[in-house]
Amino acid sequence: MTSTSILLVNCPDRKGLVAAIANFLVRYNANILHADQHQDAESGTFLMRVEWDSRQFDLPPDAFESAFAPLAQSFNMTWQLSHRNIKPRMAIFVSRYDHCLADLLYRYQAGELHCEIPVIISNHPDTEWLANCYKIPFLYIPVERDSKAEAEAAQLETLRNLHIDFIVLARYMQVLSPDFIRHYPNRIINIHHSFLPAFHGAKPYHRAYERGVKLIGATSHYVTEILDDGPIIEQDVVRISHRDDLDDLIRRGADLEKIVLSRAVRLHIEHRVLLYANKTVVFD
């Protein structure tokens, strides 16, 4: 259902939170469709996602903040309101590997990802043909060691001009600078070809093969200034054996990467991910 509104709440845990939020919504004729909450006893944190049919909701979107503010302040809430009929604008960054990009574009065309893709940005021209197949603008911005700041400035200007809401790194093989990341906090999604925290950094399949592991994995996470250390959104694994060589690991891992990344992107688009203490709660 696209005509729904979604409220995400993060605050100190107290009695009466669920009732207070539900009563507020019902006061304005909300038909609540889904409500999920989680209490972290160790940190004393309450997290909630509630979705309701907005067609008969009596509180206009531009009046929600002022009406909800007293309740939010009384419980010290951090909150976010979203509407499913507004498609977030996603930019995809990619280098030479095209499997994650191809999967995202197919799912986008098939209607699985409720978003807009105004641009694909790459530091190599290799995947332009794929962008052309889906009629999505492709921007080639080379990134050299001595001109990385200029390249990122050009990328950020494009993102601002296109009003991009979040970024997906579909095997973009460049480390983003802290300055770039600060422009999109918790709005850059990466896919790492390892089951983090194992084998972070470069060439994880090579190190997994050398270690003789029996499981390989993929991890999608939000990007932070610490490499491969951001809050994890989605992970999966596949079993391997001594019969698999390095090429087998890379091939089987690529299948995992595209599935895990697409799941994470869908969860983000549907506002199912709440962050706290460098972790996530994912309401499915």
Active centre residues (catalytic): 228
In this structure, what token pair is assigned to residue 35? Answer: 């409500």
In this structure, what token pair is assigned to residue 68? Answer: 């909800």
Query: In angstroms, rounded to a whole number, what is the distance separating the alpha carbons of residues 56 and 4?
Result: 10
| DSSP state string for 57-70 | -SS-HHHHHHHHHH
Contact call for residues 272 and 35 (beta carbons, < 8 A): no
In this structure, what token pair is assigned to residue 54? Answer: 């907005």
22: left (phi over 0), alpha (psi -120 to 50) or beta: alpha
In this structure, what token pair is assigned to residue 249? Answer: 């690991």
Size (the chain), residues: 284
Q: Are strands 215-222 and 188-192 parallel, antiparallel or unpaired?
A: antiparallel
